[in-house]
């Protein structure tokens, strides 16, 4: 049986420990390494402290075949990752003239003088592979020593992800012979049920995984079901994965919206583009959030007409044609107002579909009859309007995000009929 390599992930930065920055790097790396067939056995989050960083690398190199870290490669005094990692690995660093020149050119292009502190970013062990950073000044490092692999990546997610995908993944495949990996994995993404409900729906699968491991992760109103199969060989693992995927799909049904790198916004965009249909939006409590999500997708101009953020009653009347009598009788947050918003933007735009969202995001504005979290979402086409009443909980931003995602999911289900 082919060897399964073990990996340790280290994230450095005091801001991660304080919670002021979300550690998205370790989640990205965990998924990518698992996809390659490596088994992630530990993850460390450490502050900008020499002793903490030293212990993390020491433990990682003792337990795992691969240690991959992000953060702490900058020019300041508290950027200690490379210095400490090389110390633990027993490697001496020296100034690499080619990297010095690259740094000077980077600053010259920006018409700035290079601070002397940046020279530490040009220090590397002679045996290391220097990883290019096309989005910043901090290069990464790939080092194979004593049957261990040590990888250092920059902290900003945009820089880290690009460096991993452009350079590290191919080096790992080559060094560890990972092209024919033993395990097989997939992330099945669902929206609708919460984590506890999804756990209950999948109880039979979780209690009888048949050669797989399952992990449920609640993320922004979605539940991501990470499945990993480990068979006798790669083909056997893929067969096991296919079987359990079918079992999960049978349990979750219409709630499944995508797999692996799919996003809800991207799936809806593909459905609209594939059907040649256009969408228009009328947003109140979401305040343009839904439009922002849609326009993050390249090419969305091909199916997205635009949005009206009708936050005030006056805007609802003047821009969308909501009747003043409707607002007087039922209020801005009502089934009737949501329906008229959807009809109004559909007529104004000439689009094939429209979504309208109106609700109380809080923290103020609610009462006994209409509490914070009450949201109405309307989906209209030229034949009918469907209005969904939702009761969300959480802080203001959570309610707004859940409202936008639920609206997208309502459209997804319509497009998939």
Adjacency order of strands within the sheet including 256-259: 212-219, 222-230, 183-191, 256-259
Cβ 265 vs Cβ 294: under 8 Å? yes
Query: DSSP E strands: which ranges in 170-211?
Result: 183-191
CATH-assigned architecture of domain 6-176: 3-Layer(aba) Sandwich (3.40)
Q: Residue holding tokens 């020499």?
A: 50
CA distance 171 to 151: 10
Task: Return the CATH architecture of domain 183-259.
Answer: 2-Layer Sandwich (3.30)
DSSP assignment letter at 90: T
| pLDDT at site 1 | 44
Token pair, residue 7, equals 């990996």
pLDDT of residue 181: 62
What is the full per-residue pLDDT of the chain (417 aa) written as tens digits? Answer: 456 799 999 999 998 888 888 898 998 999 899 888 888 999 999 999 999 999 999 999 999 999 999 999 999 989 999 999 999 999 999 999 999 998 888 888 888 888 888 899 999 999 999 999 988 889 999 999 989 999 999 999 999 999 999 999 999 998 888 765 677 889 999 999 999 999 999 999 999 999 898 989 888 899 999 998 888 887 888 899 999 999 999 999 999 999 988 999 999 999 999 999 999 999 999 999 999 999 999 999 999 999 999 999 999 999 999 999 999 999 999 999 999 999 999 999 999 999 999 999 999 999 999 999 999 999 999 999 999 999 999 999 999 999 999 999 999 999 998
Residues 6+ apart with CB under 8 A from 229: 183, 184, 185, 211, 212, 237, 238, 240, 241, 244
Domain 264-415 sits in CATH 3.20.80.10? no
Closest CA to 378 of 370, 360, 390: 390
> What is the 3-state composition of the chain as percent helix, strand, coil, each rounded to the nearest 5?
45, 25, 30
Beta bridge partners of residue 95, listed in sequence order: 123
DSSP lists the bridge partners of residue 148 as 145
Report field, pTM of the whole predicted structure over 0.85: no
pLDDT, residue 231, reads 83
Domain locations in the chain as residue ranges? 6-176, 183-259, 264-415
């Amino acid at each position: 049986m082919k060897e399964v390599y073990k990996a340790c992930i280290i994230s450095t930065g005091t801001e991660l420990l304080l919670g002021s920055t979300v550690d998205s790097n370790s989640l990205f790396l965990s998924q990518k390494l698992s996809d390659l067939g490596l088994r992630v056995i530990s993850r460390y989050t450490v502050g900008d402290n020499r002793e903490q960083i030293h212990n993390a690398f020491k433990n990682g190199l003792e337990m795992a075949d691969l240690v991959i870290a992000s953060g702490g490669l900058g020019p300041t005094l508290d950027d200690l990752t490379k210095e400490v990692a090389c110390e633990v690995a027993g490697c001496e660093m020296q100034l690499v003239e080619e990297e010095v020149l690259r740094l000077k050119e980077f600053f010259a292009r920006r018409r700035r003088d290079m601070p002397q502190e940046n020279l530490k970013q040009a220090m590397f062990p002679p045996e290391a592979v220097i990883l290019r950073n096309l989005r910043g000044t901090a290069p990464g490092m790939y080092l194979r020593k004593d049957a261990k692999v040590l990888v250092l990546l920059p902290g900003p997610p945009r820089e880290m992800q690009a460096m991993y995908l452009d350079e590290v993944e191919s080096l790992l495949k080559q060094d560890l012979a990972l092209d024919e990996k033993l395990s097989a994995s997939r992330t099945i993404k669902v929206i609708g049920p919460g984590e506890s409900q999804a756990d209950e729906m999948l109880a039979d699968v979780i209690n009888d995984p048949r050669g797989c491991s399952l992990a449920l992760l609640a993320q922004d109103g979605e539940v991501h079901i990470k499945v990993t199969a480990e068979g006798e060989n790669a083909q056997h693992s893929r067969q096991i994965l296919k079987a359990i995927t079918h079992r999960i799909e049978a349990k979750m049904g219409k709630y499944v919206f995508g797999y692996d790198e799919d996003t809800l916004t991207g799936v809806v965009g593909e459905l609209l583009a594939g059907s040649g249909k256009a969408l228009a939006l009328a947003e109140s409590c979401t305040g343009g959030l839904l439009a922002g999500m849609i326009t993050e997708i390249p090419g969305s101009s091909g199916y997205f007409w635009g949005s009206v953020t009708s936050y005030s009653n006056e805007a609802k009347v003047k821009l969308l044609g909501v009747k003043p009598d409707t607002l007087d009788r039922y209020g801005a947050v009502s089934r009737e107002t949501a329906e008229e918003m959807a009809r109004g933007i559909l007529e104004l735009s000439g689009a094939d579909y429209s979504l309208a969202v109106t609700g109380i995001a809080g923290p103020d504005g609610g009462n006994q009859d209409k509490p914070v979290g009450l949201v109405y979402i309307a989906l209209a086409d030229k034949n009918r309007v469907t209005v969904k009443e939702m009761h969300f909980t959480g802080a203001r931003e959570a309610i707004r995000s859940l409202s936008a995602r639920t609206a997208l999911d309502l459209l997804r289900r319509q497009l998939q009929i």
